Amino acid sequence: MKKFPAWLAAVLLMCGLGVLMSAPAVAAPYCGLVWGSLAKSDAAMSSAQVTNVRTGQHYCFDRLVIDLNGPVKGYTVRYVPAVVQDGSGLPIPLRGRAFMQITVNAPAYDTSGSATYNPADKNELSNVSGYQTFRQVAWAGSFEGYTSLGLGVRGRLPFRVFALDGPGAGSRLVVDVAHFW
């Protein structure tokens, strides 16, 4: 009879531990982001031209914005072993542990060949010192209707790409790269 209370206590203890022990924790996506790191593209060609490149910091990601003077129609954004210069194919040195080649299907020159965007420093399109993810934004060129940039980041992190209308008749190609997985 003395064994029964001990046995009952052991069973109840094990049941209690089973109730108290939860299933293995599954990490929620960082900031609720469910982006991936595979290439993203749209093959359409734009009649707009690139007019500016800028960056910004957000709580969950760093943002690159390419301004156009008309609608964004096509782009390719992907991780590459090395970013190469348009036309020549020469590698562009970038800071970071991972590299993104960003190509917008629009030139950075008008129909007469005059530049619509001519960066002052092709190696540093925007000052990204102090950014959590971005390490460097560099010019890769504008050739045969395509404009490319190199983005050095601290690691191969998830990203998203989308277009925004405005201001005015212009538009923006936006590339957000998450701070973490």
CA-based Rg of the chain, rounded to a whole angstrom? 25
Reported pTM: 0.82
Note the pLDDT of residue 55: 98
93-123 confidence digits (pLDDT tens): 999 999 999 999 999 999 999 999 999 999 9
Note the pLDDT of residue 107: 96
Note the pLDDT of residue 20: 46
Domain extent listing, the chain = 35-178
One-letter amino acid identity for 160? R
CATH number of 35-178: 2.60.40.3500
Measured CA to CA, the distance from residue 3 to residue 83 in angstroms comes to 74
- Look up tokens 């069973």; give the residue: 11
Measured CA to CA, the distance from residue 99 to residue 48 in angstroms comes to 26
Note the pLDDT of residue 146: 95
Collect the ranges in the chain with pLDDT lower than 50: 19-20, 22-23
CA dihedral 141, 146, 150, 156 (to 10 degrees): -170
Note the pLDDT of residue 18: 52
Measured CA to CA, the distance from residue 64 to residue 85 in angstroms comes to 19
Note the pLDDT of residue 2: 61
Note the pLDDT of residue 16: 56
Note the pLDDT of residue 91: 95
Measured CA to CA, the distance from residue 174 to residue 66 in angstroms comes to 7
Q: Report whether the peptide linkage leading into residue 81 is cis, meaning its omega lies within 30 degrees of zero.
A: no
